[in-house]
Structure 1
Amino acid sequence: MPHRETGKRRRPSLSMPILRTSRAQHRAGNLTLGGLLAGLGERSFGWAIVVFSLVTILPLPPGSSVITALPVLVTTFQMLLGFPHVRLPGPLARLRIDPDKLRLTLLRLRPVTRRLERRLRPRLVALFAPRHEPLLGLALFVIAFTLFLPVPGSGWFPAISLFIVGVGLVERDGLVAVLGLAFGAFSVLLTVAIVLSLAEGAEAIMG
């Protein structure tokens, strides 16, 4: 019996907090997107960043990141300001969620989340201390801003970095979050390089 009490088993799965919260709110008759994120508390930032960054990675028409990046900008800005949880605009916050569809979606993601869970664990948790939250929010806001800019060929990189940091936030894995931030810094530098290159090209054509 002792062999069953491993460190991995002591931590809930990636989907368990959202399942528990949605189940409780569904029983109370108030399962909405805003209520779900509020119920997740601090982890709502991690979950929101994960979900919204994934949306921007989807194969969408060119320039769509200007729209899909807005929720990420709002989320990271609220984190910068020290909000206790993500607060969505009224109509989006009141959007009702089908608990069965939510559960089915999470079950379909289990093959992916199981692989992540084997590697994630609480590390460098001091990174997530309240005093560091504004600085972390600022870094994520800068990365999200590069995602918001309609720069050809650069959007994929900040989206991936935000996804990595979001997973680190959810699981309180500071090492994963630091890796995501490092990749985010690379994506910011790449965006700046592309913008400067485009500006030089435009100047050469004009002059």
Structure 2
Amino acid sequence: MQRGDGRKRRPSLSLPILRTSRSQHLAGTLTLGNLLSELGEASFGWAIVVFSLLTLLPLPPGATLITALPLLVTTGQMMLGYPHVKLPGRLARLTIEQAKLRRTVLRLRPVTRRLERVLTPRYSALFARRNERPMGLLLFVIAFALFLPLPLSGWFPAISLFVVGVGLVERDGLISMLGLVLGVASVMLTAVILISIVIEADAMLH
């Protein structure tokens, strides 16, 4: 498909998940595990995108103790060299309503349209097999920072994981590297907040 200026329009970020979910829905096999497995190499990216978005929802303080668990599982498996996400049985068998999934994906279109303007496959060396485990380790550390229920710290790891996930899905090494840099900064911020809390608690006790 061509744009008005003659440039080729890039594929939609939403298209793979919409096509896969519709195909599995028609076959009666649409579950969370099947959906992520069929996305293949992109399943880590999609899982990170979806689970990081969950942590960005307006939830009560401390909710990241629950919402960050799938991210710890996903990034931990990436660190261990799994070929794709392997969810625990009960979570993998969770059925998905295709209509609700479609509405949710389409509701995100204002965000994904903006990303589509800058995303492009580049710096593919970042996604070489030898880099998967080190990247998984770094993502696990970022997810652990998100897991800690510290004030003011949760948003930054979640946003960085979302950016990395989008880069993984689209094989855009520059975007993934940007997300990793944001993630390292968020881990440092979390460490500063944690140290400050420990120092204040120690001062109160003494």
Q: Greater CA deviation, 21-30 or 70-79?
A: 21-30
Q: Give 1:171's aligned amino acid.
A: E
Quote the Cα distance in structure 1 between the aligned partners of 2:199 and 2:103: 50
Structure 1 length as normaliser, TM-score?
Answer: 0.93
State the Cα distance separating 1:33 from its structure 2 match: 0.8
Deviations 1:121-174 (A, max 9, x none): 011111011110000100000000111112221111111111111111111111
State the Cα distance separating 1:3 from its structure 2 match: 7.5
**Matched residue count:** 205
In structure 2, the gaps of 5 or more residues are none
1:61 corresponds to 2:60: yes
Structure 2 length as normaliser, TM-score?
Answer: 0.93
Q: Paired residue for 1:29?
A: 28
Superposition map of 1:105-116 within 5 A: 105-116=104-115
In structure 1, the gaps of 5 or more residues are none
For the aligned residue pairs, the C-alpha RMSD in angstroms reads 1.7
Q: Matched residue of 1:42: which SS?
A: helix
Q: Percent identity?
A: 68
Superposition map of 1:1-207 within 5 A: 6-7=7-8, 9=9, 11-207=10-206
State the Cα distance separating 1:180 from its structure 2 match: 0.7
Q: Greater CA deviation, 18-27 or 116-125?
A: 18-27
Tell me which protein shows more helix as a share of its residues. Answer: 1
Q: Matched residue of 2:117: which SS?
A: helix
Quote the Cα distance in structure 2 between the aligned partners of 1:24 and 1:152: 42
Q: Give 2:183's aligned amino acid.
A: G
